Amino acid sequence: MISLLYVDDEPDLLDLCRLFLEREKEFSVITVTSAKEALEILEGGAVEAIISDYQMPIMDGIGFLKEVRKKFKDIPFILFTGKGREEVAIEAFDNGADFYLQKGGDPRAQFGELSHKIRQAIRRKKAEEELRMMHSTVSNAPEGILWINEDGGITFFNDTICEMLGYSREEFTRLTIRDISPQFIEHHLDTEWFQTKQRKILTVQDINRKKDGSPIPVEISLNYSEFGPRSYVFAFVRDITDRKKAEDELKSAYEKNQGLMDHANDAIFIADAETGMLIDANKKTQVLTGRTLDEIRTLHESELHPKEEEEKYQAYFKKQADEGTGLQEEVIVDLRGNHIPVIVSTTILDLGGRRCMMGIFHDISDIKKVNTALQLANKKLNLLAEITRHDIRNKLTMLSGYLELFTDHPPEPQHSMYLAKLKNAVKMIEANIEFTKLYQDLGVVAPVWQNVDDTFFKACTHVDIKKIRFQSEALGLEIFADPLLERVFYNIVANAVEHGNQVSVVRLSATEMPGCLLINIEDDGIGIPPLDKETIFRKGYGKNTGLGLFLSREILSITNITIKESGEFQHGARFELCVPKGIYRFSGKASDVSGMDKNSLIA
C-alpha cells in the first residue's frame, strides 16, 4: 500500500480527499493541517508521496516544497490547490514539484486525476532510481559488483561475481548476502554501518563461500548510498587469492629470495616496526613513487604520505605495528607531488630477529577515476533526459494547440502557417528522439586511457575531407576519457570541414601547463564570431541538429576535461581542451609534447 502525506489547512477537505483516495485500497493517507507538522512526519521516513495545498498560514505550499527538496530530496510532490494562477504553477515546477493540480470541478474526476498523478509520480521516481543504480555499475567490470540493502538482500549483481563464486545468474537471484558470507552483516554492516555512512567508502577483507562450499578470500570496497528512504551498500568485490598467496610466500621466503618481491604487481615496502624507517622496497614501489631504492631507504614511512597529514599516518603506523596487521585506504605522494590513492595491507615479519612491517600498496587510481566518472555520467544522463523530455513536452503542447486551431477550419494564409508550424514541431520531436540515440551510450562504458594521436586520425577517416591536410603533434600522449572521445574529435573536424569556408589544414597540438595539459585543435578557415564562441556549445545551435558540440562538452566533462573555442575570427577556429593533471600521461619514452611531429596528408 502506498503511504501518502496530505497537507491542507482545511480539515473538511483533508477528510474528503482521504476518503476518496483510500476507497481504492491502494493508498494510505496521513493528513495534517500545517507544513510544520508535515515536516515532523517526514523525519520518520515512512511517506512515499506528498500532496500539498498552496495557500496555508505560516508556511505556504511553495515554502513547504522548498524544505522538502532541501531535506528529503526527490520524494514525489503534488501541489493540489485552488489557486489557478500561472505564476504559482511556474514557481512550483521551478522548485521541483512533480505535478500541479487545480481544485474544483467534479469530485470523482478530480480525485481520479489526483490518483493518476500520484501513481505516475511514484512510477517515475522508481524508474529514475533504477536508472541511477544501473548506470552506477559496470556490468562487465573485472571486479564483482553487488548492491546490498540494509537487510542483507542482494538487489543487483554482475556476471563477474557469479563466475567468481561458481553460480549461474538464475541461481544467484535466489541468494542473500548470508549465503555468500554468513557473518557479513554482523562483521561489516551491524558493527561498522555507522562508520560506513560517515566515510562513504570502507574497504574490508572477508572470506566468501563459493557454490561448492570452498572458501575464497576477497577484498570488498563498500560504498554507502541512499535512494529515497532506503539505504544500500554498493560493493566492489575483488578475488585476492593470488595476493594472499603472495603475502604468505613473501613472509616465509623474503630472506631467502628477495627477487620474489620484484615480481609482485603491487608496491611492497619493508619498514622497521619500531622506528618506522623504510629499509627495503620492490621495483614496483620505485615506479609508483618515482624514487630510487637508495632514496626510499632515507625516508620514514610517514614521509610517503601528504605532509599535512604526517601525524595521522604516524599514528596509523604505530597502531598497525601494535596490532600486527592492518588494512585501510591511504594516499601516497610521488616525487612530482601527485597524490595516489592506495589500499594498504600490512603485516608484521621477523626478519633475522628484527621486527619489521611489510606493506603491500595496491594502486586504486583508475578505480577511483572510473567511480567518479560513472557518478558524473549518471548525473549527465539524468540531465540530458530531462532536457529532452522538456523539449518534447513543449513541442507536443504546440502540436496540441495548432491541431485545436485546425478544428475551426482556418482560411489562408492561416491554414498554411498552422500546417508549417505543425511540420516544424514534428521535425523537432524527431530531432530530439535522434539525440537520445547519441547520448544513450554516454557513460555506459567506463572511461579508459586513449591514445590522442590514434583517436584523432581515426576520427578524421570518417569525414569527407575534400583534400584537407590533417596534422597531429601529440605523439605518445594518452588521456583518460569516455570511449566516445573519437566522437568529440569527429564533431570538431566535421564542423571545420563543413563550416570553415575553404579549410586547407586541421592541426592538433598539445602543451603542458602548470596543473593541466592543453590540447588545441585548430584550422585555417573563417573561424567563429566572438558572440558565438560560447553559444556554439548550446543544445540546438547551428544549421543541422545543433547537438554535436553540446554532446562533445558533455562527453569530455565526464572526466573533468573542459572545452572552449579560443580562435581569432577571420583567422581560423581553435578548440582548446583543458585536461587536468592525472588525466593525461605519455607512453613510451616521450616526456615532452613539444617538438613531436606526425603529419598525415589525406587526399
**Cβ pair 118, 127 in contact under 8 A:** no
Q: What is the per-residue pLDDT for 523?
A: 92
Residue type, 360: I
| 3-state SS class at 443 | coil
The Cα angle at residue 29 between residues 26 and 35, in degrees rounded to 5: 145
Q: Distance (Å, rounded) from C-alpha 551 to C-alpha 380?
A: 10
Q: What is the per-residue pLDDT for 247?
A: 64
Q: Following DSSP, what letter does each residue of 147-159 receive, concatenated?
A: EEETTSBEEEE-H
Q: Distance (Å, rounded) from C-alpha 425 to C-alpha 396?
A: 8
Q: Distance (Å, rounded) from C-alpha 393 to C-alpha 428?
A: 11
* 417 phi/psi in degrees, rounded to 5: -65, -45
The Cα angle at residue 440 between residues 423 and 388, in degrees rounded to 5: 40
Residue type, 209: R
- CA dihedral in degrees (442, 447, 452, 454; nearest 10)? -80
Residue type, 441: D
Q: What is the per-residue pLDDT for 479?
A: 93
Of residues 568, 587, 581, the one with CA closest to residue 474:
587
Q: Distance (Å, rounded) from C-alpha 34 to C-alpha 518?
A: 56
Q: What is the per-residue pLDDT for 441?
A: 56
Of residues 153, 78, 154, the one with CA closest to residue 115:
78
Q: Distance (Å, rounded) from C-alpha 519 to C-alpha 474?
A: 9
Kindly report, residue by residue over 111-140, the tens digit of the pLDDT: 888 888 888 888 888 877 776 666 555 566
**Cβ pair 144, 164 in contact under 8 A:** yes
- Residue whose grid cell is 573542459: 562
Residues of the chain with pLDDT under 50: 194, 255, 257, 589-603
Question: Counting every residue, how long is the chain?
Answer: 603
Of residues 109, 173, 115, the one with CA closest to residue 147:
173
- Residues 6 or more apart whose Cβ sits within 8 Å of residue 348: 273, 321, 324, 325, 355, 356, 357, 358
Grid coordinates of 88 = 504559482
Grid coordinates of 583 = 588525466
Neighbours of 498 (CB within 10 A): 15
* 290 phi/psi in degrees, rounded to 5: 75, 20
| 3-state SS class at 284 | helix
Grid coordinates of 586 = 605519455
Which domains does the chain possess? 2-134 (3.40.50.2300), 144-239 (3.30.450.20), 243-363 (3.30.450.20), 368-439 (1.10.287), 448-601 (3.30.565.10)
Q: What is the per-residue pLDDT for 599?
A: 40
Q: Distance (Å, rounded) from C-alpha 72 to C-alpha 70?
A: 6
**Cβ pair 527, 568 in contact under 8 A:** yes
**Cβ pair 577, 518 in contact under 8 A:** yes
Q: Within 1-85, where are the H helices?
A: 11-22, 35-42, 61-72
Cis peptide before 413 (omega within 30 of 0): yes
Grid coordinates of 279 = 629499509
**Cβ pair 349, 251 in contact under 8 A:** yes
Of residues 515, 485, 511, the one with CA closest to residue 566:
511
Q: Distance (Å, rounded) from C-alpha 107 to C-alpha 60?
A: 24
